[in-house]
Amino acid sequence: MLRPLTSHIREDRRPLSLKEYEKLGGYEAVRKVFKSMTPQAVQQLVKDSNLRGRGGAGFSTGLKWSFVPLDAPQPKYLICNADEMEPGTFKDRLLLESAPHQLIEGMILAAFAIQADTSYVFLRWAYKDAAKAIIHAIHEASDAGYLGDNILGTDFSLHMHLHTGVGRYICGEETALLNSLEGKRATPRSKPPFPQVSGLFGKPTIVNNVETLSCLPHIVNYGADWFQKLSRTGDAGTKIYGVSGKVKRPGLWELPMGVTLRELLEDYAGGMWDGHTFRGALPGGASTDFLVEQHLDVKMDYGSVAAAGSRLGTGTVIVLDDKTSVVGFVKNLIHFFAQESCGFCTPCREGLPWIEKILHALENERGQRGDLKILEQHTRLLGPGNTFCALAPGAMEPLQSALKYFRKDFEQYIAAYATPCRSGLMNR
């Protein structure tokens, strides 16, 4: 099976019923684990598979699980992060709407591995069809004995719930997500303690992404070596890649980890619109650095994209073309991040709106000679280590790389419109 995550998804994307999923081997991984494996063995299998988190960070899934103390008293929690609020990212939606039982089976396996007895799907509020599919699948799985007390006659119990978020980007950060689940303001928590030890309601908690969890039934069924061989590189498995922008066939494709950016754009997305030229792309959602033409043959895996100066992130590519203003492109992203700041720390709360104001002035022929210097200063002042969480540093990635690769675009605004008599930012 070369496309384990999507090979059973129908063309019309209607979700499979429980019986249809079982006919295709669904829940066999759960039966196998309950019959012949220990939680430690499941953790080791996932470590050996080299499954890395598909939510953006790329951390080893099995290693993350191992930080949960198995002997800790119940309750323990497993959370599926299905918030997916990153601009340009829409891969999890496909799995949520079209393969809900695959996700639920993966969640049961992950919960068993850490001995969690309660699980939540934290879902983006706007994913209405996904909510319907998940609720229906949870009911089917519960009626069939895959969820609830004493699953399949064992002493393991797991209760699963759907929680719909209120629509804040910061909820994609796992500790802000936990605060939201607890009914608090969605602000990130100080770490340590880490959620694996003290998470939801102060209890051990694991938060994993939809795509990550959906890989687990296939790893259990086919083994760690099989999963590694699906990839072209050392980063194992397949990946659901996406492309948006002015390409002929925007969409999603499950491909071997390590497909090149050129293959993704030309062979799958069909190349650029007629009359449009590729200038650059954000390879992993809105909070990643631009890759440009010299990077088209970079392999789309964690290590290769990092070596090129960006991050794989969610693996969903946003394309910049020659007919789109770079300044406007970046300003639109900064506007989003400024709106979505939780407001907890000053650099993010105050810095992002200031950057947006400068970019707006540039775009509207009111640029000042010192603007680029101010923007560059902010990419450092809002960078890693200067803010409470990664929202602002992520927002700086498209800006800092745009200033690096497309500086002339910014300078043209200054050269064309700036005059010595114009005063500073306060008059904008």
- CA dist 212 → 117, 237, 397 (Å): 20, 10, 24
Do 59 and 171 belong to one domain? yes
Kindly state whether residues 314 and 392 are assigned to the same domain: no
Task: Using the predicted structure, report yes or no on whether residue 235 has a pLDDT greater than 50.
Answer: yes
Q: What is the pLDDT of residues 371-409, one digit of tens each?
A: 999 999 999 999 999 999 999 999 999 999 999 999 999
Query: Tell me, what CATH number does 262's domain have?
Result: 3.10.20.600
Is residue 252 a contact partner of residue 234, using CB atoms and an 8 Å limit? no
CA angle 392, 64, 98 (to 5 degrees): 80
Residues 210, 345: one domain? no
Place of tokens 């890989």: 215
30 and 44 both lie in a single domain: yes
Per-residue pLDDT for 422 more than 60? Answer: no
Residue 12 covered by a domain: no
Residue where a domain stops, chosen among 199, 229, 259: 229
Interatomic CA distance for residues 237 and 397, integer angstroms: 27
When pLDDT is cut at 50, 70 and 90, the band that residue 425 belongs to is: very low
Give the residues across from 272 on adjacent strands. Answer: 247
What ranges make up the beta strands (E) of 213-371? 238-244, 251-256, 278-282, 291-292, 316-321
Residue 279 neighbours by CB under 8 Å, 6+ apart? 292, 293, 320, 321, 322, 324, 326, 406
Which ranges of 308-428 does DSSP label H, i.e. alpha helix?
Answer: 326-340, 346-363, 371-381, 391-405, 407-417
Q: State how beta strands 278-282 and 291-292 pair.
A: antiparallel
Residue % of the chain over a pLDDT of 90: 91
Tell which phi-psi region holds residue 294, choosing left (phi > 0), alpha (psi between -120 and 50) or beta: alpha
Q: Which residues contact 27 (CB under 8 A, 6 or more apart)?
A: 21, 101, 105, 146
Residue 4 domain flag: no
The token duo for 257 is: 């980890």
Give the tens place of pLDDT for each residue, 295-327. 999 999 999 999 999 999 999 999 999 999 999
**Structural domain ending residue among the three candidates 290, 321, 352:** 321
Is residue 8 domain-resident?
A: no
Same domain, 334 and 257: no
Mean pLDDT estimate for the chain? 94
366 occurs within a structural domain: yes
- Residue 422 counted as domain residue: yes
- Same domain? For 45 and 194 the reply is yes
Q: What's the mean pLDDT in 218-229? A: 97
Q: Are 314 and 354 found together in one domain?
A: no
Measured distance CA(154)–CA(112) in Å, rounded: 11
Where does residue 258 fall: left (phi above 0), alpha (psi -120 to 50 degrees), or beta otherwise?
Answer: left
Q: pLDDT tens across 95-128, in order?
A: 999 999 999 999 999 999 999 999 999 999 999 9
Please check whether residues 156 and 181 belong to one and the same domain.
yes
Q: Of 321, 352, 372, which closes a domain? A: 321
H or E element that contains 209: strand 205-209
Residue 1 within any structural domain of the chain: no
Domain range for residue 152? 18-229
pLDDT computed for residue 243 by the predictor: 98
- Rounded Cα distance, 362 and 320, in Å: 19
Per-residue pLDDT of 30-74, as tens digits, reads: 999 999 999 999 999 999 999 999 988 889 999 999 999 998 999
Which pLDDT does position 414 carry in this prediction? Answer: 83
Please list, residue by residue across 92-130, b when 16 or more beta carbons sit within 10 angstroms of its beta carbon and e when fewer do.
bbbbbbbbbbbbbbbbbbbbbbbbbebbbbbbbeebeeb
Which CATH number goes with the domain that contains 362?
Answer: 1.20.1440.230
Residue 292: pLDDT over 80:
yes
Question: Is there a domain that residue 102 lies in?
Answer: yes
How does residue 369 score in pLDDT terms, banded at 50, 70 and 90?
confident
118 & 199 share domain: yes
Tokens of 217: 């039934």
Sorted by sequence, the CB contacts under 8 Å of residue 318 that are 6+ apart come out as 87, 88, 244, 245, 281, 282, 285, 286
CATH, residue 61: 3.40.50.11540
CB within 8 A of 291, min separation 6: which ones?
261, 280, 281, 282, 283, 298, 305, 308, 309, 310
Query: What does the pLDDT read at residue 419?
Result: 54
State the pTM of this model: 0.93
Same domain for 34 and 132, yes or no, is yes
pLDDT at 418 over 70: no
Tokens 């803010």 label which residue?
387
Residue 417: per-residue pLDDT = 58
Q: Is the pLDDT confidence value at 421 over 70?
A: no
Q: Are residues 243 and 102 in the same domain?
A: no
Residue 218 lies in a domain: yes
In a shared domain, residues 57 and 111: yes
At residue 427 the predicted structure's pLDDT band, cuts being 50, 70 and 90, is very low
Work out how many domains the chain is built from and give that number: 3
Cβ atoms of 74 and 68 closer than 8 Å: no
Q: pLDDT tier at 420 (50, 70, 90 boundaries)? A: low
Q: Is 84 exposed, middle or buried (0-12, 13-18, 19+ CB in 10 A)?
A: buried
Average pLDDT over residues 198-210: 97
